Structure 1
Amino acid sequence: MSKEFYFIACFFISFQINAQLINWIIIDFAPYYINTDELEVQGRDRGVIELLHQQLPGYSFSYSQLPGSRLLHELANPQHNFCFLSLYKTPERLKLFHFSNHPSTIGLAPTIMMKKSTALKLKLQSNKPISLAELSANHNLVLAASSNRSFGKSLDAIIKSIPAEQKIYRAGNDVLNSLMTMLHKNRVDLLLGYPDEQLYLAKKLGFIDEIEIFTIKEAPSYSVGYIGCSNNSLGKDNIAQLDQALLSIYSLPQYYQVLSRWLPEQFHSDLKIMLQQEVGQYGAKVAP
């Protein structure tokens, strides 16, 4: 075998191996990713990735753990080859990443957590939706939220309009954990997030009995996340494969089980309805 042919063969084999590899970004963000040995695959999004892997036996999956504050920057670098599960689609992001056509996760929309004492002071009724815009404009409350994520077009616009002195908009590792601690210590009044992550952390931090969660009038009935991959040829190919795999996992009982794993029991029936509505658009069915 000539040297030229040898190097060409090695390059081709290397390309084939790389083309069959999907490198996922994972972040330390419970309950979506729980990066401890005993619960590593128990995170919601990590569980969905495992189901996708079962549908793509010819692919190898690898994992790169990054700080949440670096997620979008690294994913947007076309010199890298990364994918990430459960991203909101926004016009800005569509320019930066390849997105799946089909959703990877469906869950309840963002909610507002506050202390029961605050809800009592504002005379809010439990289980009744509240307006984030009205709360911020009329009551001089301080809102806490993570700055390295999108909460949807309407809520993102409201957050942007809130005066700087009325919001703590922070990025970094364990950001929700630190913001929830600030809520517990009365340094902020409202915490924007999702019910599964809010209840998970409130229980973990030991003050679940002190808080109350409200749905938001400006939020949609549910939230949909998509897979995003690097904006290059390999990312495009990976998205095409992952899109087909998503259609295959919708009907698996394990898919619903993963999505509801960390969601409070009272939200399970709502999730089932939302899931049926969303995946039904693609001719898929949810397992009973």
Structure 2
Amino acid sequence: MNNRNLLIVALLLVGVLVISSSAFVVKETEKAVLLRFGEVVRSDYEPGLYFKVPLVHTLRKFDARIQTVDSTPVRMLNSENKFMVVDSYAKYRIFNAERFYVATRGDERNAVRLLAEQINDRLRDQFGVRNLHEVVSGQRDELMSEITKNLNKVAQERFGLEVIDVRVKRIDLPPEVSESVFQRMRADREMEARDHRAKGEEAAERIRAGADRQVVEEVAKAQREAEETRGAGDAEAAAIYAGAFSRDPEFYRFTRSLKAYEESFNDRADMLVIEPDSEFFRYLKDAKGE
């Protein structure tokens, strides 16, 4: 191989090295900034192939996908001046690569630290004007939405980050506060239970009184109807007896006497003190009662 061929090969190698060191690809999942001696000269890269000047330009790439910052649990005061231990997290992604690089020097650990501080500051401000119930359940969704909106605006302006969501994973009470809170909750529940029991007993008394009154009314009504029916039956029986006995008065007197004898001599120990010629014995002396 002559010198000319060697020169061509050398030039080709140098060209390949220059191209490989100057060409770069930005993926859809990446954000990139181009630096010239440490200063940002471009950051608005769309996915594709680009070139830079070797030894002059430096390229920094960052993950543009959604990331998670998991804050360290911190103690916060609520509106009742009671401490709470709040554990939170946030979802974010790089919104402006140049602003992100300037604010954090391209170190994502700095971004996580700065964002965690902002999250805790806003949680502290919001929790400070709310009580425990509002923080835990009553206004939790509204609270998280407000914090996310406010934090997203600040993060975009200062750090080039877009905050997608902020959530509280857990809220604990310090041991010295937990016991007093539990005691108060227990007392409230006991008071509520007593109130429910009293209302239940009152309702039960009303139901029992109503049932007793209904029973008395029904029994009285049944007795009245029974007396009316019995009276009607007795009247009808009397009318039948009267009609039957009016046909033969002597037979009526005879049957009445027999009935009287049966009731009077029901027991051998019974004794009557009466005149022998009394009207009572008329049918014992004579079957015709004469």
TM-score normalised to structure 2 length: 0.20
Instruction: Write 1 or 2 for the structure with the bigger share of helix.
Output: 2
Q: Name which structure has the greater RCO, CA cutoff 8 Å, separation 6+.
A: 1
